[in-house]
Chain A
């Protein structure tokens, strides 16, 4: 049976495409954006999360761990990563959900059943399903099967991608989606590599190829002060988007918020974007003006 590793399914999602949507978040991503607000999305495997403030120090996890990887100290649960095999027994017995496993394999039929439950909301709002991540393109051919199955059910489909994947996959996916939400971050290749860990040539090339097919695209730009809010980057970005073949995509500016720290803490990781800043409304307005200059439709908020 084909299964997809999913780390979250959000109902009443109103920021990921038109109408009321259900967003499926795949786990696993090739990028390592420093500002990433979903750090649990990055690795393509199940991971353990721990919240100290929910822990009642009951020791149930310590007793349940077959590898003796769990122990308790004054700071709460300590997991010895060298012993932990991510079996999830600790999460199963945890009474308070202080310990949780992120990532669950969903059989396709179960995922479709969940999506179909939302059809009344899609129908009333012109909404549908959005496949996001992580990077959904890493989940071929499962993603394509899911999209096809949703299409057969007349469900509006959106795919939110970093654009960093095989061109062939992206173009195939686009034939089975009504909307591609395409993330654009930095136009300068060196800075892109520095802040996301990967080159942007593939991304920009994919975007051009995609646009040439006439696919409906919405460009999503996370705006992070000090990273990509400079006039030069925004200007280049706007020019690039404006020169794309096909219909002109709308651009959404998503102001960065320093909100994901607790997720990094739960994963036991450091958050590198701790010093990054949230744009204020003036900065957002300026950015919107620059991007809108070549005649693009810009809006703030996802």
Chain B
């Protein structure tokens, strides 16, 4: 997820965009282990995403006909069943793993029950330059006639916006926070190993048992539970039907197929689809197809954030791989080919586009399915297997946008695996990202998970942790922490709009001490968080009541035994997160205020406010003084790091442990995805010298260019924070390829990761930067002060070199072939 984020923010090496391998004369068709994979990959990366109105048409007709006849959970399940029964199927040439959410690869359905696109939205999506989704005029006309009128006023989004209080609206519009659930359903879900041991028929038997045990005389919730369980049962049937229809189609195609080898493959596809998901998988291939049908089921039923995640996919597949390899029914090459097919399947599923499209808040096709590789098992053992290594090969060879991937490096992880992962990182695609199970297990334990459930957990779409297969961990939206400081400096008013968006915490000119100023910031922070949580709780109830997800509930543990929906407290654990963005920017801003206003007293509040109001125009001396003469976060300087610690503590105090509507709690994580760019646009100049509109800092990373003492200093600063109190932190580090030239440099990179994780880091990600970035660094050096370049016998900061030398480095880097 951070990869796309990074791509938005900075130029990346050309090879980081899809499809450009075609220029390579050795691979005219593109990379891939064999012609089948090359063709599948080419088709996937070259297909432009389009919008499919099929799901919306089915759903609208179904709702028109049936709304009011059934309980909401049963209505939702029947609606899902209806679509599985009617939807256009796709089995493409060369495919071994089958199934698409839309009628064809990259054909993305809409979800009008959540949020209904307007004609205008479709036109923007069709025509916009970045990340377009094509749609025909005819489809737009059909949508306008059949779909839009029915959903007018009935969508979840409209339910939310018609009920939110004015203070929320004001803060939301000012960009103080975002709200995840106004366009998509709660998600960020990852699965555990259940579906490899149970087929849908097994789940149905379990559901039937629960229904039989319902006590209508003594249990006041028995009727609601019955409706939910009935809905789950129907949704199991829906997915079985969906697979059966694929089996039939494959048999038909086999009968028509001239090529006898492909005909045999199609018959094999049919056999697999007759087995899974009805029954538990018995082979490596069935296990992958099992997951894929469950994945498709959940992302067709609703449009949850981060699509769906297989969790520790390598660990789930390893027993199948080992058994088949021993039995001689599968070779390593075949296993790899099947994984390539799966990878390409995920790439075929771009994120459903938002409405009211400005593409400001998030502009990426990435739907954030994230494959966890390595790590530890539920028993606490090393989870790396041969499948983990095969997956790294697949990632390196295919080089596609989706799925995202992350390696998990515990103290028990073998060096060989870390080294293999670092070699992939050196390719400069920005992945895999690296997670620390030894810390996230503690994070999950602190939140109340059992040790076993914590170890089976991990990170789904981004860096947020959850107990895979047993938890609804709902990300509710990002918090713009620097903006909270901005309105504190304006006594509750947003200087960009002049509107009052916070509470009055006093005229900042009257603050005699830094402590007074900081206390005002904390009051403002608490107000904003409470304003957000109030509406998050309301939204949670809207989804529980009007958009339950019975199929998702089948595969998340305890929903069946509780007879409650995933959105209604059914899972074993139920967490809400608020993602805090801009720690670096707010720390540096507070540090600038503390240093220059209150300690050195070389700057008056009035003068600073004036400079901020005019975006430092004519105030370059002041701005440069702040940038160069202030302790900033990320340099292992306690003067700045202690401010970060205080902000972190107060964010925790404001958020952590606040009750949610499921009897559990809110927690925080320090994620930004692409939102630091949007928040930057919504935030004026900040006291750290950042100009208005420039992005704020991402995750827990230092502000752009603020860290000038190398990666070990960044790590020392970051690990002063206790990551185990969060639900995830994010650290982006930029390196030049030349810093990773020799094999031993890659060893050093691995050791740097080990050091960070030994000190308690949660996540780290490296961007191996390229020429485009170097050129951008020449144009705006202050944003790239942290760029390390490996020179002759030493390393140096790119920014410290003159133009000629920079040019030499640029030229040299371009010549380096990895």
The answer to whether B751 and A12 touch across the interface, beta carbons within 8 angstroms, is no
Interface size on B, residues (CB 8 A): 40
Which residues on the B side are within 8 Å of A125 (C-beta)?
747-748, 751-752, 755
Interface residues of A in 113-149 (CB under 8 A from B): 117-118, 120-121, 123-125, 127
| Distance in Å: Cβ of B641 to nearest Cβ of chain A | 12
A87 at the interface (CB under 8 A from B): no
- Cα distance A249–B713 when bound, in Å? 33
- Cα distance A82–B769 when bound, in Å? 45
B164 at the interface (CB under 8 A from A): no
- Cα distance A51–B748 when bound, in Å? 33
Per-position binary interface string of chain A over residues 290-302, scored 1 when its CB falls under 8 Å from any chain B CB and 0 otherwise: 0000000000011
- Cα distance A10–B794 when bound, in Å? 9
The answer to whether B755 and A121 touch across the interface, beta carbons within 8 angstroms, is yes
Which residues on the B side are within 8 Å of A301 (C-beta)?
742, 793
- Cα distance A298–B444 when bound, in Å? 50
Using known A-B contacts A120-B758, A121-B712, A262-B805, determine if residue A14 contacts B620 with beta carbons closer than 8 Å: no
The answer to whether B624 and A56 touch across the interface, beta carbons within 8 angstroms, is yes
- Cα distance A108–B196 when bound, in Å? 61
Which residue of chain A has its CB nearest to the CB of B793? A302
The answer to whether B794 and A15 touch across the interface, beta carbons within 8 angstroms, is yes
B791 at the interface (CB under 8 A from A): yes
Using known A-B contacts A262-B802, A265-B802, determine if residue A96 contacts B752 with beta carbons closer than 8 Å: no
B523 at the interface (CB under 8 A from A): no
Which residues on the B side are within 8 Å of A120 (C-beta)?
755, 758-759
Which residue of chain A has its CB nearest to the CB of B739? A14
- The stretch of A150-158, A203-211, A251-259 in contact with B is A251-259
Residue of A15, A19, A265 near B751 (CB, 8 A) is: A19
- Cα distance A36–B614 when bound, in Å? 46
- Cα distance A21–B681 when bound, in Å? 40
| Distance in Å: Cβ of A98 to nearest Cβ of chain B | 9
Which residues on the B side are within 8 Å of A58 (C-beta)?
620-621
Which residues on the B side are within 8 Å of A51 (C-beta)?
802
The answer to whether B801 and A262 touch across the interface, beta carbons within 8 angstroms, is yes
- Cα distance A256–B805 when bound, in Å? 14
| Distance in Å: Cβ of A210 to nearest Cβ of chain B | 21
Which residues on the A side are within 8 Å of B795 (C-beta)?
10, 12-15
The answer to whether A12 and B792 touch across the interface, beta carbons within 8 angstroms, is no
Which residues on the A side are within 8 Å of B36 (C-beta)?
none
Which residues on the B side are within 8 Å of A302 (C-beta)?
792-794
A110 at the interface (CB under 8 A from B): no
| Distance in Å: Cβ of A228 to nearest Cβ of chain B | 15
- Cα distance A300–B549 when bound, in Å? 61
| Distance in Å: Cβ of B688 to nearest Cβ of chain A | 14
Which residue of chain A has its CB nearest to the CB of B716? A117
| Distance in Å: Cβ of B358 to nearest Cβ of chain A | 36
The answer to whether B710 and A259 touch across the interface, beta carbons within 8 angstroms, is no
| Distance in Å: Cβ of A132 to nearest Cβ of chain B | 9
Using known A-B contacts A11-B710, A12-B752, A14-B748, determine if residue A95 contacts B629 with beta carbons closer than 8 Å: yes
Which residues on the B side are within 8 Å of A118 (C-beta)?
712
Using known A-B contacts A259-B805, A262-B805, determine if residue A222 contacts B793 with beta carbons closer than 8 Å: yes
The answer to whether A12 and B621 touch across the interface, beta carbons within 8 angstroms, is no
Which residues on the B side are within 8 Å of A12 (C-beta)?
710-712, 752, 788, 795
Q: Which of B629, B745, B759, B803 has the most CB of A within 10 A?
A: B629
Interface residues of B in 782-808 (CB under 8 A from A): 788, 790-795, 801-805, 808
Interface residues of B in 616-635 (CB under 8 A from A): 620-622, 624-625, 628-629
- Cα distance A125–B802 when bound, in Å? 33
Which residue of chain A has its CB nearest to the CB of B792? A257
B709 at the interface (CB under 8 A from A): yes
B262 at the interface (CB under 8 A from A): no
The answer to whether A254 and B792 touch across the interface, beta carbons within 8 angstroms, is yes
Which residues on the A side are within 8 Å of B793 (C-beta)?
15-16, 37, 220, 222, 254, 301-302
Which residues on the B side are within 8 Å of A37 (C-beta)?
791-794
Which residues on the A side are within 8 Å of B620 (C-beta)?
56, 58, 95
Residue of B625, B636, B748, B804 near A95 (CB, 8 A) is: B625
Q: Which of A20, A53, A58, A256 has the most CB of B within 10 A?
A: A20
Which residue of chain B has its CB nearest to the CB of A22? B712
Which residue of chain B has its CB nearest to the CB of A52? B802
Interface residues of B in 722-748 (CB under 8 A from A): 739, 742, 744-745, 747-748
| Distance in Å: Cβ of A253 to nearest Cβ of chain B | 10
The answer to whether B792 and A255 touch across the interface, beta carbons within 8 angstroms, is yes
B7 at the interface (CB under 8 A from A): no
The answer to whether B751 and A124 touch across the interface, beta carbons within 8 angstroms, is yes
The answer to whether B748 and A20 touch across the interface, beta carbons within 8 angstroms, is yes
Q: Which of B620, B710, B759, B794 has the most CB of A within 10 A?
A: B794
Which residue of chain B has its CB nearest to the CB of A266? B802
Q: Which of B625, B748, B808 has the most CB of A within 10 A?
A: B748
| Distance in Å: Cβ of B639 to nearest Cβ of chain A | 15
B541 at the interface (CB under 8 A from A): no
Which residues on the A side are within 8 Å of B624 (C-beta)?
56, 95-96
A97 at the interface (CB under 8 A from B): yes
The answer to whether B713 and A53 touch across the interface, beta carbons within 8 angstroms, is no
Which residue of chain A has its CB nearest to the CB of B749? A14
| Distance in Å: Cβ of A283 to nearest Cβ of chain B | 15
A198 at the interface (CB under 8 A from B): no
Q: Which of A60, A95, A256, A258 has the most CB of B within 10 A?
A: A95
Interface residues of A in 192-216 (CB under 8 A from B): none
Residue of B752, B790, B794 near A121 (CB, 8 A) is: B752
A234 at the interface (CB under 8 A from B): no
- Cα distance A257–B793 when bound, in Å? 9
The answer to whether A60 and B751 touch across the interface, beta carbons within 8 angstroms, is no
- Further 10 A-B residue pairs, CB within 8 A, beyond A19-B748, A20-B755, A124-B752: A15-B790, A16-B793, A95-B624, A96-B624, A96-B628, A123-B758, A124-B754, A125-B755, A222-B793, A261-B804
> Which 10 A-B residue pairings sit nearest by Cβ, starting from the closest?
A95-B624, A125-B751, A257-B792, A302-B793, A262-B802, A95-B625, A11-B710, A12-B710, A124-B755, A124-B754
11 pairs from A and B in contact (CB 8 Å cutoff):
A19-B748, A56-B620, A95-B620, A95-B629, A125-B751, A254-B793, A259-B808, A262-B801, A262-B802, A301-B793, A302-B793
Residues of B whose CB lies within 8 Å of any CB of A are 620-622, 624-625, 628-629, 636, 709-713, 715-716, 739, 742, 744-745, 747-748, 751-752, 754-755, 758-759, 788, 790-795, 801-805, 808
